[in-house]
Amino acid sequence: MSNKLPNDVFVPLASDLLDKKKPKYEALYDHIKEAIFSGRLKTNDKLPSSRYLSKLVGISRNSVLTAYELLFSEGFIESRKGAGTFIADIADLKPLLGKVATTAFTQENIRISDSGKRINAIESPMCLEAAEPREQILQPAQPAMDVFPYREWQACVAKSLRDVSTYSEQPAMGVFLLREQIKEFLLLTRGVRCDVGEVMITSGSQQALSIALSLLVNSDDSVLLEEIGFKGIDGALSSLGALQATLPIDEQGICFNKEDDICQQAKTLILTPSRSFPLGHTLSLQRRLAIIEWAYETQGWIIEDDYDSEFIFSGHSIASLQGLDSGGRVIYTGTFSRTMFPGIRLGYIVLPAILVPLFNKYKRFVDGGLSAQQQAAMGLFMQNGAYSRHLRRMRKLYKSRKTMLDQLVRKEIPSLSLIPSDGGMHSVYCFQENQNDITICRKANQQGLGIRALSSYQRTQQFNKDSRTGIILGYAGATEEHMHKGVTLLRQIMDEESIKKADY
């Protein structure tokens, strides 16, 4: 066969190769394989000689030979003695010919599990939507990286890398040094009572929650939740097929009555007792005791998310729920993503002793453990006192930044009503008149504010109450300049929305 037919296939390749960042032989290999799949090259078509093709498309002969060798080793082409190189007769490829380019996956035709379908059906809340890779100047939960002790942290990282023991496989529960430091830290600061063997390192509080739910909650089980809270929990529950049962929140935290039918039907409660998320209310002692009594009577589980209790600005935060539990019904979770930096991806879970063997086995199955060097570095950072010093500095700084932001908002946007809170990394402001917080936040975030709509954290109501609307502004990672810029932009956007509403 002459080279005429293959030339029609290869001539367009010459210009394409000039734009390819991949190696020339790989581009040629891909081009020939695609031509086979699409039917432009058919069984018994003769390929040009390596010398001829190298001149035709402007690449070295070695690149052509390498591409041919790859195609030959995979069975796409064959060499015939004295005749040349030909497209092989591949029966299994015949159903694909002419169809590859037109085959496309859609959300309707992909084959996924029932769990996957439940997750796919969930509408992503604004707080989980992918953000532009740029600065979000008032985004909640962003620590003050402008004053982070980089040198101290880097010294701990360097030391952990020199420790040859961190290069060996580690226990699924995590590096011992870090678990030991967490145990001591939590006892001192949160009143958490545990042994080192009951502390498990996770990639964050979200993984801790996911593991706990996977092992303790069945499909169709009812799980008690705060009516306003982190929507990542909802996704984890939906994937299991579990049912949500929401309880209202007031200034004393979650409203809990163990005699209510909704509480009697559930066996698991997830809550943020030290500072309800995102409102910042502290659960009263009376309700704490009632919740623990409920867990004893129903043999239920309490999952305590202590997400930013490190940042209380006056006095000491109330002790953890776990510290009041003498019957092993509370599972305690925490994270370093807020106190250190988001990219650290380290958290922990403190387990009742009875659950340790099960959780240990499960974690070994699902991930086998996290980076030992990162864990060791965090353990060293805590051991040498750098972590405690860092937290003390941040408490002082965040208190100052919160005061600055709240005063600025009060002056520039008096229509926003502050929900009182004495700690944390963000402030919550409610609208005094009905406004669409989702629309306002979306427009603000297009301009780089990174703020959150209060209503996006609202779960399905069971008490016929109107959803609360408002704005959540982060101050921890915001400088004074950021705050002035962000609040000015927010005021302009809210004014524009008010004008549009009035026009209607």
pTM of the model: 0.80
Find tokens 């979770």 and name the residue. Answer: 333
3-class SS at 226?
Answer: strand
Question: What DSSP character marks residue 29?
Answer: H
Q: What is the pLDDT of residue 235?
A: 86
Element (H, E) at 482: helix 480-503
The pLDDT of residue 468 is 83
Reading the chain (504 residues) residue by residue, the pLDDT tens digits are 444 455 567 766 655 565 556 788 888 888 888 888 877 888 888 999 999 888 888 889 999 999 999 999 988 999 998 889 999 887 655 545 545 445 555 656 677 777 777 777 776 655 444 444 457 899 999 999 999 999 999 999 999 999 999 999 889 999 999 999 999 999 999 999 999 999 999 999 899 999 999 999 999 999 999 999 998 898 889 889 999 999 999 999 999 999 999 999 999 999 999 989 999 999 999 999 999 999 999 999 999 999 888 998 876 667 899 999 999 999 999 999 999 999 999 999 999 999 999 999 999 988 878 999 999 999 999 999 999 999 999 999 999 999 999 999 999 999 999 999 989 999 999 998 778 999 999 999 999 999 999 999 998 654 445 568 999 999 999 999 999 999 999 999 999 888 776 655
Count, residues in the chain:
504
Residue 311 φ/ψ, nearest 5 degrees: -110, 70
The H or E element that residue 334 is part of is strand 330-335
Tell me, what's the pLDDT at 39? Answer: 79
